[in-house]
Amino acid sequence: MNVTRTKSLIWLGSFGLTGYLSFFVYEFIKNQPDLQEGVSTKEQVEVLGSVEVPPPPRDELVKYSEIERTFHKLNWTGKAPPKPKPQPTNEVKPKPKLKPVAELLNVLLVQVDTDDQAGSMAFVEFIDPKLKDKRSSEDRTLHVGEALAAPYEMIVVDAIEVGAVWFRFEAEEPRERELVEPERYASVNGIIVKAGPDGAIQPVRTSVIREASPNGSRSFNPKVTQRIRREEFLIGTETIAQIEQDYTSILSRDLRWERHRDPNTGQVTGLRVTHVAPGSLPETHGLLPGEVVKAINGYKVTSLNGAIAYVKKEAATTNDWLVLIERYGREYTRTFHSPQQ
């Protein structure tokens, strides 16, 4: 198809469209008077009356029994649904019978803040197995307002006094407060021991190590110091040689200390450690910043030179060294065993 023929077809279509539009405009102008006339009321009634009236809606409701039978009691397969499982009854478990507090724990020591009860603390030892599992061996302090662990959470520390710890019970049945007295202690040759009815209970000293070292071996002459209990050490042969050869450098490089004085009397009662170098020999032997070294085998430590002279003097005849330590106001003993000769 050439350009001339295409143009001819386009012009022919344009003339046809123009003619149709002209006819439409002519018809609209011709019938305009009739279109402007309104529809009479009579004509409207005739038109509306000719419409067939639909039948009224049925006033019938579907019975609930049919819906229940179709949708609730039967599934789409037509099988009856499985019977519902019996719902568990909300049975109230009986609360554990409360034991006397003295059967749950022992109060080892109390620290009383006379200005603010919130600052008072009680150091305890848990007896009940359930409490032993809930509280770690390091977490043995109770404060005023603190509750015991489950299932004895209704027992709350009510007050901490110099010679007593009071516990109250937040239970439904009324129960009077209970008093637990701290253990009594005495000092025997610089060692803190429990005091029984007949006086201080003498500590049993032995040079025999009854527990294995942490790696499972039982060595009486290890090369390096072994911790055999939390506060008991077996000094190694190489450690002894290192201390004898370089103790002055160890004291000047790895340790800082100061004299500790009794706040009431002002007398020197020990050496307070202010710094321990990480990974040093003092740290591997359990020494911590803030501890006060008060006595070695009953010898009162008031100066570093005096303590060193005493150890050198007794080293040839002494295998066990019992060091009296004070930390956070509490005294305890740290034991060191020399290698067997």
Over residues 1-18, the pLDDT tens digits come to 577 888 888 888 888 888
Highest mean pLDDT pick, 62-71, 81-90, 129-138, 161-170: 161-170
Q: How far is CA 66 from the centre of its chain?
A: 58
* CATH number where 306 lies: 2.30.42.10
- Closest by CA position to 230, among listed 205, 211, 208: 211
Q: How confident is the model at residue 63 (pLDDT cuts 50, 70, 90)?
A: confident
Residue 297 has phi, psi (to 5 degrees) of 50, 40
For 165, the domain range is 101-183
The per-residue pLDDT for 77 is: 59
Domain-located, residue 230: yes
For residue 241, tell me if it sits in a domain: yes
Tell me if 162 is assigned to some domain.
yes
Residue 208 pLDDT greater than 70, yes or no: no
pLDDT at residue 245, rounded to an integer: 83
Same domain? For 333 and 230 the reply is: yes
Question: Does residue 292 register a pLDDT over 90?
Answer: yes
**Per residue in 22-32, pLDDT tens?**
887 888 787 77
Residue 123 — φ and ψ, nearest 5°?
A: -90, 120
More confident residue, 81 or 114: 114
In a domain, 166, yes or no: yes
Tally the domains of the chain.
2
pLDDT of 249 higher than 60: yes
Are 246 and 319 members of one domain?
yes
How are strands ordered across the β-sheet holding 121-126?
105-111, 121-126, 141-143
The model's pLDDT over 322-331, given as tens digits with 9 standing for 90+, comes to: 999 998 788 8
Is 80 exceeded by the pLDDT of residue 168? yes
Higher pLDDT, 334 or 216: 334
Tell me the pLDDT of the chain averaged across its residues.
77
Residues 171, 241, single domain; the answer is: no
Domain shared by 163 and 249, yes or no = no
190 vs 231, which has greater pLDDT? Answer: 231
Which residue shows structure tokens 């009397």?
Answer: 265
Q: Is the pLDDT of residue 164 over 80?
A: yes
pLDDT on residue 293? 93
Q: What beta strand segments (E) does 262-329 contain?
A: 268-276, 292-296, 299-300, 320-327
Digit-coded pLDDT (tens) for 142-158: 889 898 888 888 899 99
Select from 183, 215, 242 the last residue of a domain: 183
Give the model's confidence band at 186: pLDDT under 50 very low, under 70 low, under 90 confident, else very high: very low
pLDDT (0 to 100) of residue 213: 42
Domain boundary among 130, 162, 183: 183
Region 272-282: what's the mean pLDDT?
89
Question: Which residues fall within 8 angstroms of residue 303, CB to CB, at 6 or more apart?
Answer: 259, 268, 271
Name the pLDDT band for 210 (thresholds 50, 70, 90): very low
Question: Residue 11 falls within a domain, yes or no?
Answer: no
Residues 149 and 240 placed together within one structural domain of the fold: no
Which element (helix H / strand E) includes 159?
A: strand 155-161
Residues 101/178, Cβ–Cβ less than 8 Å: yes
Mean pLDDT over 236-255 rounds to: 84
Same domain, 245 and 164: no
Residue 311 is assigned to a structural domain of this protein? yes
pLDDT digits (tens, 9 = 90+) for 85-108: 777 776 666 655 678 888 888 888
Could you tell me which of 309, 325, 231 has the C-alpha nearest to residue 272?
325
Do 253 and 172 belong to one domain?
A: no
175 occurs within a structural domain: yes
Residue-level pLDDT at 95: 59
Rg (CA), the chain: 49
User: Which of 183, 218, 234 is a domain's end point?
Assistant: 183
| 167 in the same domain as 236 | no
**Same domain assignment for residues 177 and 236:** no
Residue 176, SS3?
Answer: coil
User: What is the structure's pLDDT at 93?
Assistant: 63
For the segment 283-291, the average pLDDT, to the nearest whole number, is 89
Confidence band of 198 (pLDDT split at 50, 70, 90): low
The answer to whether residue 240 is domain-embedded is: yes
Residues 173 and 258 placed together within one structural domain of the fold: no
pLDDT of residue 301 exceeding 70: yes
